[in-house]
Amino acid sequence: RARAFPLPPPPLNMNRTTHRLTKNIVDGAFGSAIHKNVREVADFSSEIKRDCANEFLKKLPKDALLMFPDLDEFFDAPSKDVERILKKYGAVLGHMVDRVSDDWALRKTTKTPLWLQYPRRCAATAERFHGANTKWMLVPQSIRFATAHHIQSEIRVPPSLPFSHYRFTERSLTLLKKKRDLYRQRGISRNRTEGRAHIYDVVLSHIAEGALSTTFRRKVRCGTTCNT
């Protein structure tokens, strides 16, 4: 069972390419069940994502598990490790491994396997951007989320498993600016400083001329590349 939440403001504008693509994806995935499984939101936020996950958890069977990654998060940790952690702790925690192209450019995705398009495996989200880089990959039905990254239930915290985070693609610059501006405007409307807007400013400061900056390349810690 699944739920999808298209981000363009309703109603979808078929004169816009992104809206047409959204409609094609949603229609292909849900068909006649679209009204039961799809919710359109005019003003997306992490709080909406959290609340929808909690609402969905309440509807699941008691023995069910929930997985809800963002579109750029691939929970690709080895299945044997996921099964081992799940059996011992009852839930699986992951940490992001930021995937980057071999020449550090923000490249357009193609039909080539993603891990070959972005072979560099780097620790950027937490170490360079000071953002939350952990995510619960699998949780039981009894769990409730406090945020998209944290739960409010008391459980024994397992060691985290790595998963791929494809943040740095051709569309990254536009999307980062849109999210930064959205959080900044939300802070203004609520007469407060919105810390999440600052995180996106930090990320944007490391992008220059369609690629990750020289400073970023020099300071980021990366593991072995993924070429197979």
Reference 137, options 59, 180, 84, 196; nearest CA is 84
List the pLDDT tens digit at each of the 228 positions of the chain.
555 555 445 566 778 887 787 777 777 766 776 666 666 666 667 788 888 889 989 999 999 999 989 889 999 999 999 999 999 999 999 999 999 999 999 999 999 999 999 999 999 988 888 888 999 999 999 999 998 889 988 888 999 999 999 999 998 888 889 888 888 887 766 766 566 788 888 899 999 999 999 999 999 999 988 765
The answer to whether the pTM exceeds 0.85 is no
**In whole angstroms, what is the distance from residue 163 CA to residue 97 CA?**
6
* Cβ atoms 110, 175 nearer than 8 A: no
